[in-house]
Structure 1
């Protein structure tokens, strides 16, 4: 019995040993390495490598909620002005038919990618914006009889930014390279250039904080929506009404910029071609077309000075611009009464133009010249931190515009434009209870002084009763914004 037990036990050990040896000969499959998300070391905070690539990615977003109030008065569109949105006609819009308050909800989603190459960083950026608009934010200003009860609001969705940068080249949609301050602090626009555009640009970095940029930008983005001005009667009337012609030469922008620890400075210049056409006009069976071209330009200088000796984060911005035939380079609000959200602040609309078409007396019906508008703007903004969580911004701007004597000697009812000046002042109270969350209250005041164009030796045609020649407006806006 003992011999049998020993035999069985020995056989079992032999079998186990043999199986173990065979198992040891089988190939072993290793687990795949885990490709953890890694923080990028050349881009700064917020970027991580897309797994399996050498490209860094950052995803960002902004959520903004606003409410605004603007006191409204009677609004009068001049004969040569823009049409009433509801009726398609010109004329008077009662103050009570215009929304004085409104709400905005805005979401922005941004994606930023960067890759190191032998030629420097390759960057691609896009930002999509979606708005929900109510009241005066949805054109509630000049609705002309369509009040808030009929103004149900609307949605806007657009590509706010989308560009590629590589080896000094930039192509896509972004802030115009001409711009400097670009409404950096204020919620409401003041007199300065703040405009997104489609561009092709090259930036040369000389070192020591100095850089130079040449940018080719879409001209049509700078054309005024109310088109060119026209004389509507008398010997200077342009048959068929002159208007912007199609774009041939885009705007050309040149910039010199200097960045240092103390702040930055920028000098900008822009060329803006005005091509126009008119017609058809009488006497040619509807086939007559006139044309005239002129060259507009703008220059701008700005400086930002950091003031850490007052408080961390303090700074002062100063900027001035001059333009001839390129209005939006001095004020991207499109005209003096524009900008306060509701497209107009009431009173008599001073609908500014890049140029006004004037028929040459004694020439054929198609002949006319373009009389350019000329103007300048200056602005300042001062930001001061009373504590790390509370700061205040005071800002203001002043601008003037004038037209040729020929235009000022034609009554405003016939398309003449007088000289005008405007100032805006405002203040922001800003509270940052936690990082990337800001609550702000802004108040603004605007005032316009203008002359009414009139025929030589005559008094200007009177405005409708209770329409102000020199209107003003008050605005208050509350904003809550979260960035992440």
Structure 2
């Protein structure tokens, strides 16, 4: 056999082997196309489409470090709960994350909100809680959320709201451009004056508010069925000079879930916009029939008065980083005068 025949035979053998291997080869599937996150600008900044859906999601929250000062200072753990402390100062840290989901429907935007919060009085004493969780569509809201009684003036001196403002509730709120009005039915089992006589204590609250030029206003009312206690509050602000003047008045028939500090109170503040980053808010409040007799049974207001003054300073250090400091002095009939305050750092995102 000559060299030419040997080369031809070798080439034929190699071709046969290659054909056999090609027949047995595994062909890799084409990779699925990657769907990148798309910005959703239909509901404001910060929303993005959840991949594969038409639902828009926004993730926000804050990290807070705060030092409280005052006799037996305590750290708030959320929803009105405090951690007792025998010291005149106490530090705590809070982390909060909010998930807001929105999508279009024939009834308007369908909204779902979940707010998760963890408070740490120290490394061994921590409390995680569901701060809010509700469904909102066409003005109707159902779930765990804060009532209108959680609102207040911008400083940290006024005491014109509920001690507990987070409830399982059903609410309807009508909203126009500069006006809203609503009514809610609230479960009040966590009220500080719930005596258990009425199973699943229920309250009814209304809220009306809006803006008219340089004025803003809100009127809130509530009735606690278990304690047969009603409360009404009016609050408003108006731009005056370099700041905003805020006024509020509240009245309660008896101590109840919606108001329990006093039978009536008036509060005033002036929020001075000193610079683009600095706001200074001096404030004062007067209480009529301050305090409660028999706080556990047949609660009623004392026939004593009290007053309170304070100042709050807010400063924006950089974008999304804020500092707040406040000091308040309380005095009145047959009570020891007391000075309290706090310093706070908060990073929002």
Give the TM-score of the pair, scaled to structure 2. Answer: 0.78
Is the 1:321–1:329 contact (alpha carbons within 8 Å) kept by the matching residues of 2? no
Q: CA deviation at 1:476?
A: 3.2
Q: Which residue in the other structure is 1:380 paired with?
A: 268
Residues 178 and 254, structure 1, Cα contact 8 Å, conserved in 2: no
- Give 2:179's aligned residue: 210
> Which residue of the partner structure matches residue 436 of structure 1?
320
More strand by share: 2
How much does 1:55 deviate? 0.8
Contact 1:191/1:397, CA 8 A, preserved across alignment? no
Question: Using the alignment, how far apart are the partners of 2:36 and 2:300 within structure 1?
Answer: 69
1:389 alignment counterpart:
277
* 1:257 maps to which of 194, 200, 209: 209
2:89 is matched with which residue: 101, 118, 128? 101
Which residue of the partner structure matches residue 135 of structure 2? 164
Q: Given that residues 290 and 306 in structure 2 are in contact (C-alpha distance below 8 angstroms), is that contact kept between their aligned partners in structure 1?
A: no
Higher RCO by CA contacts (8 Å cutoff, separation 6 or greater)? 1
Counterpart-to-counterpart distance in 2, 1:390 and 1:209:
28
Distance apart, 1:448 and its partner CA: 2.4
- Structure 2 distance, partners of 1:480, 1:327, is 33
- 2:233 equivalent in structure 1: 300
After superposition, residues 317-466 of structure 1 pair within 5 angstroms as: 317-331=246-260, 335=261, 375-401=263-289, 418-449=302-333
Gaps of 5+ in 1: 1-7, 9-28, 74-84, 87-96, 135-151, 228-242, 276-294, 337-374, 450-468
Structure 1 residue matching 2:330: 3-state secondary structure: strand
The reply on whether 1:133 has 2:121 as its aligned counterpart is yes
Structure 2: distance between partners of 1:203 and 1:221: 24
1:67 aligned partner? 67
Which SS does the other structure have where 1:256 is aligned? strand
- How many residue pairs get aligned? The number is 311
> What SS is found at the alignment partner of 2:151?
coil
Structure 2 residue runs without a partner (length 5+) = 1-7, 9-28, 74-82
Deviation, structure 1 residue 417: 6.9
Cα offset for 1:263?
A: 4.6
Distance 1:70 1:33 in 2: 60
Instruction: Give the distance between the partners of 2:162 and 2:320, measured in 1 at CA.
Output: 27
Distance in 1 (alpha carbons) for counterparts of 2:239 and 2:158: 22
Q: Distance in 2 between matches of 1:55 and 1:297?
A: 41
Cα deviations by residue, 1:214-243 (Å, 9 ceiling, x for unpaired): 10011223342xx6xxxxxxxxxxxxxxx4
CA RMSD of aligned residues (A): 3.4
1:30 Cα shift? 7.4
The 5 A counterparts of 1:32-71 are: 32-71=32-71
- Aligned mates of 1:177, 1:476 — CA distance in 2: 25
